[in-house]
Amino acid sequence: MRLLTGEASLRANEALLVSNAHVAAQIAVALTTLR
């Protein structure tokens, strides 16, 4: 249970971090067109 949780949470953590970085960059790009 703990092993499964550790591996699963690591994968999920990485996935959400990368998704957030990608979205943040898209927002930053869009912001430059709105000034």
The three state secondary structure string of 7-30 is HHHHHHHHHHHHHHHHHHHHHHHH
State the minimum distance, in angstroms, from the CB of residue 35 to another protein. Answer: 7
- Provide the minimum distance between the beta carbon of 6 and another protein in the complex, in angstroms, as a whole number: 5
Looking at the chain, how many residues does it have?
Answer: 35
User: What's 1's DSSP letter?
Assistant: -
Binding mask 1-35 for another protein (x = CB under 8 A): xxxxxxxxxxxxxxxxxxxxxxxxxxxxxxxx-xx
Give least dist CB 1 to another protein, A: 7
Binding site for another protein (CB under 8 A): 1-32, 34-35
